[in-house]
Copies of this chain bind each other. A is one copy, B any other.
Amino acid sequence: MDTIQSIGYPIYFNDSINQLVKFVKDGDYSRFFILTDENTAKHCLPLIREKIDNLDNFDIIEINAGEESKDIDFCIGIWKMLIDFGADRQSLMINLGGGVISDLGGFAASTYKRGIDFVHVPTTLLAQVDASVGGKTGIDIDSIKNIIGTFTQPKAVFMEASFLNSLPDRQILSGLAEMLKHGLICDAAFWQQLKSSNLERPSVELIYRSVEIKNDVVIADPKETGIRKALNFGHTVGHAVETYSLIHDNGRHITHGEAIAIGMICEAWLSHKKIGLSEAELKEIVDVISALYPRYLLAEEANGELYALMQKDKKNQKGKINCTLLKQIGQYSIDNVCTEAELCESLRYYATL
C-alpha cells in the first residue's frame, strides 16, 4: 500500500517498524523518548526494542493505561520527566499507544521548550483511524475531554497492522465506529463496503481507506474552521455520553466508539428530523450500529446533565450547540444549531429503540 501524504508528513503502512527505526537513526536527534502504557509496553514495545536496543540515547516513559492519564496532572509529570532526563529541543517523542498516548504525548511534546518533534505509532484501531491523523493534540481538565491542546502535526505516523492482533474485540469495535462515520459523512460506497465486510476484524485495506478519507478532510481544513467539522458527526452527543459514563460508570465506563455509536444514532435521528435524511437511511444506520454495539441505558433523568455537557463542546458558538448532521448517507452538513428540546428528544429516541 502506498504511503499516504498528510500535512507535511508521511503515514507509513508497509514495513512500518523498520521505517520507524530508520526514521530514528537517520534523524539528527540528540535522544528520543518512547511514551507507552503498561499494555503497549507489554504487547508492542518488545517489537521495537529488539531493533533499537543497540542505541543508547533513548528512555522509556510509561504511564497507566486509560483516559484518566490524559489529565493535566499526568502531563505535568511527563514534562518534569523530560526536564529530569535533560531533554533538549533536538529530542524526539515517540508516542506508542492508543489515542490517550498520542493526544497526551503530542501535547506534551508540542509545548515542551515550545515544541519538540514527535511521531505516532498507533497501537489501537481507534488511534490508527482517528487520533494519529490530523494534528490534534489534547489533554483533559476536570474530565472535560481535550479542553486544552494544540494543532501540531507529527513528523510521521507508522501504522503496524500486527499490533491490532492482540486487541480485544471491544477495542476493535471502538475504532470501527470512526470508520463507519467516515463512510457516513463522505463516502456512501465505503459505507456499503463496510456493511458487507467482516467488521469484527476489519481488513487493512478498509483501515487504509478510512485513513485516506480522514486525511482528505483534515488536509482541506487543518484547524477546523470549516469542513473538518464533518468529522464531528456523532460527537456532540457522543462526547457527552462518553464523559457522562466516565463520571458515573466507575471502572466500567463505555468506550469512545460505543459512545460515538450512540451519538451517531441520535444525530442520524436529528438529521432525519431537521435536514431531510430519509427514514429508510435512518433505519439502515440504526440497524447496522445496533447490530454491532451493546445497548447503553440512558435514563430520562440523565438528560439534563448530558445537555450541560454538550454545552461545553468546543464546536459551539455563542452559546449555541452546533451539530454535524447527514443530508444523506455519504453527505455531511456542518453547523446545524440544535436546541435543548431537539437534543433531549434524540436521546429519548435512542433510549426507546
Query: Contact residues of A with B, CB < 8 Å?
Result: 30, 72, 76, 79-80, 83, 86, 88-90, 107, 110-115, 136-138, 141-142, 144, 146-151, 223-224, 311-312, 314-319
Contact = CB atoms under 8 A, between A and B. Distances in A.
Given A83-B312, A142-B80, A148 B317 contact: no
Contact of A80 (B86, B90, B141, B149): B141
B136 A114 contact: yes
A150 B147 contact: no
A110 to B, nearest CB: 7
A142 B318 contact: no
Given A114-B138, A142-B83, A30 B317 contact: yes
Given A88-B318, A317-B30, A111 B113 contact: no
Contact of A79 (B76, B80, B147, B317): B147
Contact of A114 (B90, B151, B312): B151
B89 A147 contact: no
Contacts of A314: 88-89, 113-114
Nearest to A146: B114
A148 B111 contact: yes
User: Could you say how many copies of this chain the assembly holds?
Assistant: 2
A36 to B, nearest CB: 22
A80 B312 CA distance: 12
A76 B141 contact: yes
Given A30-B318, A86-B311, A88-B317, A115 B79 contact: no
B318 A112 contact: no
The 3 closest A-B pairs by CB, nearest first: A30-B318, A114-B149, A113-B314
B148 A90 contact: no
23 contacts: A30-B317, A30-B318, A72-B76, A76-B141, A79-B141, A79-B147, A86-B312, A88-B314, A88-B318, A88-B319, A89-B314, A89-B317, A90-B317, A112-B147, A112-B148, A113-B148, A114-B137, A114-B138, A114-B150, A114-B151, A114-B224, A115-B150, A150-B150
A314 B318 CA distance: 39
Nearest to A318: B30
A224 B114 CA distance: 10
Contacts of A136: 114
Nearest to A312: B83
